[in-house]
């Protein structure tokens, strides 16, 4: 059976050849420096291992709510408030204040990006992606019939309207719509982070 023939055009349209070539090259090198997906270089903290073991022993092995475990969301909201000063609500959406930012727990950042892209992008929308970027960003746009617009990096690997770090906005009256600007500081593999005022100076 030809398994490839079963795949959709959406799946076969994703270019993985470049990624494959990079990994094949890395496998042929002696002790290469890995700047790809950022595997942790430390073990799981004892408190997390103990909590996971206790949850298993207590039989907590069922499905959680779609937005994530209620206690985990509450603790996450508390952490964001105390550590970053973000006022987020643990419920999705907040019942008492629907305009207040809320949160949900996903299976990882790629899962969160896919959900966000599916919620925000229509066919033909543009996703502005400053370079360097995580390899999944352009493919997310392609899977949803949107268009990835890659911005040239500035010398300091930061978003800069003067250095071509973002694409120009659509002209007045244009059917184009720049719906999403992908920005994930600190940006791997450079480790750069944008000041709050810099992205706001970039074209909308």
Residue 41: inside a domain = no
Whether residue 116 sits in one domain with residue 100 = no
Number of structural domains the chain divides into: 2
* Number of neighbours of residue 69 by Cβ within 10 angstroms: 13
pLDDT attached to residue 77? 92
> What are the phi and psi torsion angles at 103 (to 5°)?
-140, 160
**Of residues 138, 189, 154, the one with CA closest to residue 18:** 138
Residue 74: inside a domain = yes
- Model confidence at 163, in pLDDT bands (50, 70, 90)? very low
Mean pLDDT of the chain: 77
Whether residue 166 sits in one domain with residue 77 = no
pLDDT attached to residue 204? 45
Give the position of tokens 């090259």: 25
Which range of 1-10, 82-91, 194-203 scores highest in mean pLDDT? It is 82-91
Residue 30: inside a domain = no
- Residue 147 pLDDT more than 70? yes
CATH number for the domain harbouring residue 152:
3.40.640.10
- Residue 203 pLDDT more than 60? no
Q: Which residues of 86-98 are buried (b: 16+ CB within 10 A; e: fewer)?
A: eebbbbbeeeeee
The domain containing residue 150 runs over which residues?
109-204
How does pLDDT run across 93-125, given as a tens digit for each residue?
A: 666 777 788 888 998 888 888 898 998 888 888
Peptide bond into 43 cis (omega under 30): no
What DSSP designation does 171 have?
Answer: P
How does pLDDT run across 39-96, given as a tens digit for each residue?
A: 777 899 999 999 999 999 999 888 888 888 888 999 999 999 999 898 888 877 666 7
More confident residue, 180 or 146: 146
Q: What is the DSSP string of 95-125?
A: SS-TTS-B----SSHHHHHHHHHHHH--TT-
Whether residue 204 sits in one domain with residue 120 = yes
Residue 93: inside a domain = yes
Residue 133: inside a domain = yes
pLDDT attached to residue 39? 72
Whether residue 202 sits in one domain with residue 130 = yes
Whether residue 180 sits in one domain with residue 136 = yes
- Give bridge partners of residue 25 from the DSSP assignment: none
Whether residue 201 sits in one domain with residue 116 = yes
Whether residue 174 sits in one domain with residue 158 = yes
Whether residue 181 sits in one domain with residue 128 = yes
């Amino acid at each position: 059976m030809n398994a490839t023939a079963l795949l959709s055009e959406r799946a076969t349209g994703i270019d993985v050849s470049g990624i494959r070539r990079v990994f094949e090259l890395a496998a042929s090198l002696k002790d290469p420096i890995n700047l790809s997906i950022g595997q942790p270089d430390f073990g799981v903290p004892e408190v997390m291992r103990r909590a996971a073991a206790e949850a298993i022993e207590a039989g907590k092995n069922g499905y959680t709510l779609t937005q994530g475990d209620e206690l985990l969301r509450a603790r996450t909201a508390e952490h964001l408030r105390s550590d970053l000063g973000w006022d987020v609500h643990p419920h999705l959406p907040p019942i008492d204040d629907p305009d207040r930012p809320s949160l949900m727990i996903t299976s990882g950042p790629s899962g969160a990006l896919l959900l966000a892209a599916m919620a925000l992008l229509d066919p033909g929308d543009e996703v502005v992606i400053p370079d360097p970027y995580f390899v999944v960003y352009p493919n997310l746009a392609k899977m949803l019939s949107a268009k990835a617009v890659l911005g040239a990096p500035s010398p300091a690997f930061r978003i800069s309207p003067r250095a071509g770090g973002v694409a120009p906005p659509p002209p007045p009256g244009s059917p184009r719509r720049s719906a999403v600007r992908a920005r994930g500081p600190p940006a791997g593999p450079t480790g750069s982070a944008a000041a709050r005022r810099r992205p706001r100076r970039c074209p909308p």
